[in-house]
Amino acid sequence: MSPRLTLDTLSSLPPDVTVPRYDRKTLETGIVHIGLGAFHRAHQAVYTEDAMNREAGPWGICGVSLRSPETRDALAPQDGLYTVAVRDAGGERLRVVGSVIESLVAPEDPAAVLERLTRPTVRIVTVTVTEKGYCHEPATGALNESHPGILHDLANPDRPQTLPGFLVEALDRRRRAGIPAFTVLSCDNLPTNGEVAAGILRRFAELRDPELGRWIEENVACPSSMVDRIVPATTDEDRASVARRLGAEDAWPVMTEPFSQWVIEDRFPAGRPAWELEGAQMVEDVRPFELMKLRLLNGSHSCIAYLGYLAGYETVSQTVSDPAFRRLIGRLMDEEVTPTLSMPDGVDLTGYKAALLERFSNPALKHRTWQIAMDGTQKLPQRLLGAIRERLAAGASIDRLALGVAAWMRYATGTDERGQPIDVRDPMAARLAELAAEAGPDAERLATALFGLSAVFGDDLPRDPRFTGPVTDALRHLYAQGARATVEAMG
């Protein structure tokens, strides 16, 4: 058996594996990252690693998992080091990243997390907690004040469980100690994610103490950012192949594609690493980039996930190798999404969309449709419904966007086209199952029941027959013909 990847084994890795060039042992914590998943490790942690390779700086990352100990258990015995495997049809490139110097598991030791967040050296808190981690109403972006985690954290400020609970308590401690606030940088797939973060922090703080709410509003910068890199869940096969190439065991390498993009609103009063030297785009207004990415990439991804899964495809690349699917996604992007975007000069949307189809086709990434299908109630609003609202306001057609919504409904019933159960993962899974059971396999009844989820659809869309009509028709088609034939007919 090969040795474990650690600081001591770094020097014996094959010469084509890139390793940290800065002095890892003296690095101090300048960033706390909440939500230590594969995405962070393949994206922001790599930009920070590159920035420190260029110029050593006090930007070590303390990664925090809000739920499970798995990442910490994998990384702690290997000094926080892990491998990023960049894969495409041409092969694989490996690098070992060292920017995550420590990992904590919040439920095991919330006090330690608060202690790190309160350190004066910590100047930035980056966040990837997925949509549901904001404890907000997906349709409006406002804090969900009856969320059980929020109620818990209001009652127990010293032992928080949620993102707003941790950040507000830490900011309060900093305020009392005269330590300047950190900047909160959301890196989740939400439009105006900085504003959403600012809104939930302010509201949560206000509920604790109006004075604290005001202080946070005046002192905490929450720039928005658009993040993009496809990072499928790591499999045991990936672990084994990385260990073979590395000649060392890495308990949790991350798999990704060559493409990476980060567009950041440049508002960091307490300073930041020189991410722009490593390819990050610092801009004044991120919004057009967010809408471009959420609607073209993530919107297409969700359609591929629900329709592809129902058609029996396991991965994104399998799905888009079916010409009917490729056509459908191409037309969805060109005819229904592109007209809703208005990009700054110099952005080549045609090239962006062509590159997306290539990225989806990457045969070296086994990105499961089931993985992307998770959390549909949290994802639909920004991926499909925003574009739908704008199309309807312009009096334009929404047939393919509506098919995406209908495919989610069909998927959310929890039974596939061959009568087999689907493992539906969603914070509202229990409610979805109830509604589906009541409706039975009847398009009209199912659609009507699901339109009643105002946290997803708001109050406007369910009342608009130009929305409910095409979604219900598409759902009827899905029940009658199945996903593959429906895609063929509409592509």
Task: Give the residue carrying structure tokens 């059971």.
Answer: 437
**Closest separation in Å from C-beta 67 to ligand CS2:** 17
**Closest separation in Å from C-beta 229 to ligand CS2:** 5
Q: How many residues in the chain?
A: 491
**Position 391 contacts ligand CS2 (CB under 6 A):** no
Task: Please identify, using beta-carbon distances, which residue of 372 and 447 lies nearer to ligand CS2.
Answer: 372
**Encoding tokens for residue 287?**
């919004």
**Closest separation in Å from C-beta 114 to ligand CS2:** 29
**Closest separation in Å from C-beta 130 to ligand CS2:** 9
Tell me which residue has its CB nearest to ligand CS2.
301
Task: Please identify, using beta-carbon distances, which residue of 197 and 227 lies nearer to ligand CS2.
Answer: 227
> DSSP class of residue 296?
I
Task: Please identify, using beta-carbon distances, which residue of 78 and 300 lies nearer to ligand CS2.
Answer: 300
Task: Please identify, using beta-carbon distances, which residue of 60 and 299 lies nearer to ligand CS2.
Answer: 299
Among 45, 230, 365, 380, binds ligand CS2 (CB under 6 A): 230
**Encoding tokens for residue 203?**
């509201």
Question: What is the distance between the alpha carbons of residues 196 and 184, in angstroms, rounded to a whole number?
Answer: 11
Task: Please identify, using beta-carbon distances, which residue of 172 and 188 lies nearer to ligand CS2.
Answer: 188
Nearest to 133 by CA among 122, 123, 143: 143
**Position 301 contacts ligand CS2 (CB under 6 A):** yes
**Encoding tokens for residue 329?**
């996604």
- With CB under 6 A as the contact rule, which of the stretches 214-222, 281-289, 294-302, 483-491 interacts with ligand CS2? 294-302
Task: Please identify, using beta-carbon distances, which residue of 171 and 332 lies nearer to ligand CS2.
Answer: 332
Among 161, 256, 298, 382, binds ligand CS2 (CB under 6 A): 298
> DSSP class of residue 232?
P
Q: What angle do CA 37, 39, 42 make, to 5 degrees?
A: 115
Question: What contacts 200, CB < 8 A, 6 or more positions away?
Answer: 134, 135, 136, 142, 143, 163, 164
- With CB under 6 A as the contact rule, which of the stretches 147-155, 222-230, 417-425, 458-466 interacts with ligand CS2? 222-230
Element (H, E) at 301: helix 299-310
**Position 229 contacts ligand CS2 (CB under 6 A):** yes
Question: What contacts 58, CB < 8 A, 6 or more positions away?
Answer: 27, 28, 30, 121
**Closest separation in Å from C-beta 362 to ligand CS2:** 11
Cβ contact 223:194 at 8 Å:
yes
| C-alpha 140, offset from chain centre | 18
**Closest separation in Å from C-beta 227 to ligand CS2:** 6
DSSP code string of 166-205: HHHHHHHHHHHHTPPPPEEEE-SSSTTHHHHHHHHHHHHH
Task: Please identify, using beta-carbon distances, which residue of 207 and 297 lies nearer to ligand CS2.
Answer: 297
Would you give the binding string for ligand CS2 spanning residues 348-387, x where CB under 6 A is met? -----------------------xx---------------
- With CB under 6 A as the contact rule, which of the stretches 95-103, 223-231, 407-415, 430-438 interacts with ligand CS2? 223-231
**Closest separation in Å from C-beta 230 to ligand CS2:** 4
**Position 189 contacts ligand CS2 (CB under 6 A):** yes
- With CB under 6 A as the contact rule, which of the stretches 78-86, 139-147, 297-305, 437-445 interacts with ligand CS2? 297-305
- Amino acid (one-letter) located at 405: V
**Encoding tokens for residue 358?**
């290539």
**Closest separation in Å from C-beta 420 to ligand CS2:** 22
Task: Please identify, using beta-carbon distances, which residue of 301 and 484 lies nearer to ligand CS2.
Answer: 301
Question: What is the distance between the alpha carbons of residues 245 and 357, in angstroms, rounded to a whole number?
Answer: 29
- With CB under 6 A as the contact rule, which of the stretches 3-11, 225-233, 271-279, 447-455 interacts with ligand CS2? 225-233
Q: At what angle do helices 465-481 and 443-451 cross, to 10 degrees?
A: 140
For 281, list phi and psi in degrees, rounded to 5: -100, 120
DSSP code string of 91-155: EEEEEEE--EEEEEETTT-HHHHHHHHH-TT--EEEE--TGGGG-B-TTT--B-TT-HHHHHHHH
**Closest separation in Å from C-beta 232 to ligand CS2:** 8
Task: Please identify, using beta-carbon distances, which residue of 105 and 226 lies nearer to ligand CS2.
Answer: 226
**Residues engaged in binding ligand CS2 (CB under 6 A):** 189, 228-230, 297-298, 301, 371-372
